[in-house]
Amino acid sequence: MKKRVITGIILACVLIPCVYFGGIPFLVLALFLAGMGAYEMMHMFYRSYPTLKTLQYIVPVMCVIIVFLMYLSAEFGFGSDIFIDDGEMTYQAIRTKLLYNFWVLTAVALFIASCFATTLFIKGSGAKDMMACATTICYCGIIMGLAASIEYLQPVSSSTILPSSRFGGRSFAYVFLIVTTTDVFAYLIGRKIGKHKLCPDISPNKSVEGAIAGGLCGAILGTAGAFLFQIVSFDASISVFANIILVLVVFLISVIISIMGQFGDLIASKFKRSYDIKDYSNIFPGHGGVLDRFDSLLMAGAAFYILVQFIQLILIGA
């Protein structure tokens, strides 16, 4: 327990400043976590599929490149100068958006295709090797890239409902609050009143009661956090009913994030059960590896990023 607490404090001392200041410090941290997480997953596969001996080092590099390209897309593809005064998107803005997204999609397609092609020339390799590479690229490249891109989110326009100042950093704190609260209350309440197993073959200690309670507590505190962190703000120019709708929408989004965080935990546990490992690595003493520590945050963060972009498409009438 002492080792776990010390590691947690060190992690907080690194993570909090990176999230607060954003920019290059956060990018460096995200790239490190992507590379390390991808190595952990590929090494897990390698233990069962020895033919992945070389690819276990190559695929993590691919994941780092994907996360970097997604950072470029989030940071520069959605800049504050992409709209003219009337709110219309310029031709240059559309071109910039499409260009960054094109490079991300191209990199993912090329990397997966190259992994597939490489396995053809490795004696004894098969479809399992291909799927291991594709899974790692999707999980530690695309999903982790989406989660990391939260830090660089910027509303397409400022308003009293969606303030733009440091939106990404505050959004990351909001998602982290939901994930942490969900985990804590699911554990505490599940121990007290949990009777029905949620996924006994994956995580025997998790209960349906704990999952529901954790989800509700995470969503309630997350909704409060959204206004406290000024992810959204009440608008005095609209009716009370409209502001109530706003609260309900934020609560619904918080519920989705909480659920996705729990799915992320179960997915990571499913991999470990399937490949008979306790932890992905021991890089964080007492906590395990990158994928052990940030499994819930990955899925929750990716879900939040997609939801925000979807909402912004609705707001600009796309």
Mean pLDDT value of segment 29-34: 94
Q: In the 8-state DSSP scheme, what is residue 163? A: -
Give percent of the chain with pLDDT exceeding 90. 50
Give residue 153's region: left, alpha or beta (phi > 0; psi -120 to 50). Answer: beta
Which pTM does this prediction carry? 0.87
Amino acid identity for residue 111 in this structure: F
Model pLDDT, residue 83: 44
pLDDT, one tens digit per residue, over 90-134 is 556 566 667 888 889 999 999 999 999 999 999 888 899 999 999
Q: Which helix (H) or strand (E) holds 207?
A: strand 203-207
pLDDT at position 46 over 80: yes
Among residues 148, 152, 170, 162, the alpha carbon closest in space to that of 314 is found at: 162
- Under 8 Å between Cβ of 316 and 87: yes
Which residues lie across from 313 on neighbouring strands? none
Cα–Cα distances (Å) from 73 to 98, 99, 147, 177, in that order, read 9, 9, 13, 25
Cα–Cα distances (Å) from 114 to 13, 58, 76, 118, 256, in that order, read 39, 11, 28, 6, 35
Mean pLDDT for the chain overall: 85
Amino acid identity for residue 30 in this structure: A
State how far the Cα of 75 lies from the Cα of 150, in Å rounded to an integer: 10
- Under 8 Å between Cβ of 61 and 32: no
Structure tokens at 98: 């499409």
pLDDT, one tens digit per residue, over 143-169 is 999 999 998 877 655 444 444 456 778
Model pLDDT, residue 316: 59
From the number of C-beta atoms within 10 Å of its C-beta (0-12, 13-18, 19+), residue 84 rates as exposed
Model pLDDT, residue 96: 67
Among residues 51, 40, 47, the alpha carbon closest in space to that of 115 is found at: 51
Q: How many Cα atoms are found within 13 Å in the side-chain-facing hemisphere of 63?
A: 34
State how far the Cα of 69 lies from the Cα of 85, in Å rounded to an integer: 29
Helix (H, G, I), strand (E, B) or coil at 83: strand
State how far the Cα of 247 lies from the Cα of 138, in Å rounded to an integer: 33
Model pLDDT, residue 79: 43
Amino acid identity for residue 67 in this structure: V
